[in-house]
Amino acid sequence: MKIKTAVALNLILIVLVLYSWLTMASGNDTGTMLTDVRLRSLKYFTLDSNLLAAAASLIAVYFQAFRKGTMPVWALSLKLAGTVSVSVTLLTVIVYLGPRFGYKAMLAGVNLHLHLTVPVLAILIFCVLEGSKTLSFGHTFLAVVPVLIYAAFYLGNILINGPGSGPSTNDWYGLLFMGLSWAPLIVAIFVSTAWILAVILWKLGRLISL
């Protein structure tokens, strides 16, 4: 029952992410904030984190459905990384994007799934159905790698192309509104937050997983 439930929920997560991405990329959700069309949509961590979670879920479904439910450590580690990434997305919406741009705007259109539904679903799947005592504490540090990669991309793009302004801004999340000199502190905040979330999810997975 546990494996079947995990497979079903992982498939739902995958469908929600693919639906949201295709809707966004095709231009059918242009009125929604912090979205873009075609491959430009990949510049947003929101979408990248959801795609990582979906990829991890796809791998999980393979092992759950065709390998007697036994997931190797690397697959569990990837699942943790994907769950941490969408958790960062959810927390950012709650404490920063929501208060700044409005929660209604942040949960409109496909952002309802990308900012809320998928992150909550990913957390529930990992903590309740997939958490494992075989995953060592060291994997909490690996779970932060996606955030570090995105930070390098985000800051690198601004350093190379400039911050820009208005609709063409390269600081699309508005994180550097106080100036580029604040970048190291902002990166440190996001990385440390991601690691804390990784530790919490890792611990919950070990304690409450069925």
Spatial contact of 17 and 51, defined as CB atoms under 8 Å apart: yes
- Of the candidates 90, 15, 28, the one whose C-alpha atom is nearest the C-alpha of residue 58 is 15
| 3-class SS of residue 18 | helix
pLDDT one digit per residue (tens) for the chain, 210 residues: 788 999 999 999 999 999 999 998 888 776 677 777 788 888 999 999 999 999 999 999 999 999 877 899 999 999 999 999 999 999 999 999 999 989 998 998 899 999 999 999 999 999 999 988 889 999 999 999 999 999 999 999 898 888 877 766 888 888 888 888 888 999 999 999 999 999 999 999 998 876
Number of C-beta neighbours around residue 190 at 10 A? 21
SS3 content of the chain, % helix, strand, coil (to 5): 75, 0, 25
For residue 27, what pLDDT is reported?
80
For residue 150, what pLDDT is reported?
96
C-alpha distance from residue 94 to each of 99, 143, 190 (Å): 7, 21, 14
H or E, element range at 142: helix 139-142
Dihedral sign, Cα of residue 119, residue 123, residue 126, residue 129: negative
Distance CA 74, CA 87 (A): 20
C-alpha distance from residue 158 to each of 39, 152, 201 (Å): 18, 10, 32
